Amino acid sequence: MTTALQRALGLIHRRGGTIRTSDALRAGIHRRTLYAMRDAGQLELQARGLYRLTELDPLADPDLALVAERIPHGVVCLISALAIHELTTQIPRAVHLAIPRTARYPSLPEGVLQVYRFSNASYEAGITRVDHSGIPVQVYDADKTIADCFKYRNKIGLDLVLEALKARRRQRDWNPQHVLDYARINRVAKQMTPYLEAIL
């Protein structure tokens, strides 16, 4: 194995098994090396400009990994965040992603992504990071997710929001004040208060 291939393999392993072409080029790995690894069966093309080692186990949610790699400034929200926090029984059909109002994002295959544009205050509040098969994914914390779901209750359904709220109440770190603080940021505190009081 050549030194260039060894260096590329080492870098990709350190990055959790995936790499973007732009990141590889910045690290001094030539496109030809990536193409040679792909042709040799060491790498597979996940999406345009995104490669993954073939020796790794299949991803639990390849769409989430793809979105996290292609849109690093996006934050997983709503139904996708509920699923990550185990607050719903519903399986999201697409990755629900929040981005700032003025941000741009690359096109992805149809059905992979549902984008929501958040105000700066709402976008920046409650961001946490989780590891998804070696890929860091930004996701809103559970309380922020509940407040966001309530804000978008007409799009995703009030039943889903109430199911998530009840599931959140059963969790050990439940704090209704945190949910209310996020609801204030989203400007839905007045509408959400009766629902919070009803489940307490």
pLDDT band (50, 70, 90) for residue 191: very high
Same domain, 183 and 145: yes
Alpha carbons 88 and 17: distance in angstroms, whole number: 29
Q: What is the pLDDT of residue 110?
A: 77
Same domain for 144 and 69, yes or no, is: yes
91 in the same domain as 11: no
Helix (H) or strand (E) holding 70: helix 62-70
Instruction: Identify the domain boundary among 12, 30, 53.
Output: 53
Total count of domains within the chain: 2
Question: What is the residue range of 49's domain?
Answer: 3-53
Query: Do 39 and 87 fall into the same domain?
Result: no
- The per-residue pLDDT for range 3-34, each reduced to its tens digit, is 888 889 998 888 878 888 888 999 999 999 99
What is this structure's pTM? 0.79
Looking at the fold, whether 11 and 105 belong to one and the same domain comes out as: no
Instruction: Please determine, for residue 1, whether its predicted confidence score (pLDDT) is greater than 70.
Output: no
What are the tens digits of pLDDT across the range 85-138?
999 999 899 999 999 999 988 887 778 899 999 999 999 999 999 987 667 899
Beta-carbon contacts of 4 under 8 Å, excluding residues fewer than 6 positions away, are 29, 30, 33
pLDDT score recorded for residue 70 = 84
Are 44 and 139 in the same domain? no
Q: Which of 13, 34, 53 is the last residue of a domain?
A: 53
153 and 67 together in one domain: yes
Split at pLDDT 50, 70, 90, the class of 59 is: low
Residue 156, domain CATH: 3.30.460
What distances in angstroms separate CA 79 from CA 92, 110, 117, 126, 161, one per listed residue?
6, 18, 15, 16, 9
